[in-house]
Amino acid sequence: MTTISLLPAPHPEPTATPATRILLKPRCADRGMVDGAWWPRSRDLASELPSLVAGLDECWGRITRVAVNVRMWPEIPEKVPAGIHTVSVGWFDAEQEPDDLLLLSYTVGRWDLLVVPPECDPERAARLMSAAADVHNRQSTGELMADIGSARHPTAHAAPWDAI
């Protein structure tokens, strides 16, 4: 007689989701043109947006809609699950700067984030994020990108930059 013993399959260790790389201005009456900066890890909006929205829901209130520029994202989903709700995603071309992410919330209103290109080297990304989160900065996303220098050139070995 043959006995077959089936052992349970080993459970993989849970992997930590990388922290969202974002830097926001403190809440103040006059925020300027941008409210901070976000540095996604890829141009896959469907995978990048849920963690951003989930994090912002906690500090800003429920994000209901997001608008992006078509030149930044190769594929734009109509809806993205974010925690316990779904966010509607829209897009613009000429009406919105390429590096701008517009977020709408019923409780807070409109927020604009500078989107640091994923392939940006860490030094430039840090400068862009700091400038966008500076309460004295009144520049648009396009002006920030131009002033800090071209952050669109990828580097061969960009080191990860941890979330703030």
pLDDT digits (tens, 9 = 90+) for 18-35: 688 999 998 776 778 999
Query: Has residue 7 got a pLDDT over 80?
Result: no
Beta strand 85-92 pairing with 63-69 = parallel
Copy the structure tokens of residue 131.
Answer: 């400038």
Q: Is the pLDDT score of 16 beyond 60?
A: no
- Residue 152, token pair as written in the block: 């669109």
Give 157's pLDDT tier (boundaries 50, 70, 90).
very low
CA dihedral 70, 99, 142, 61 (to 10 degrees): 120
Q: State how far the Cα of 64 lies from the Cα of 148, in Å rounded to an integer.
A: 31
- Reported as a single tens digit per residue, the pLDDT across 104-121 is 988 778 899 999 999 999
What is the pTM assigned to this prediction?
A: 0.78
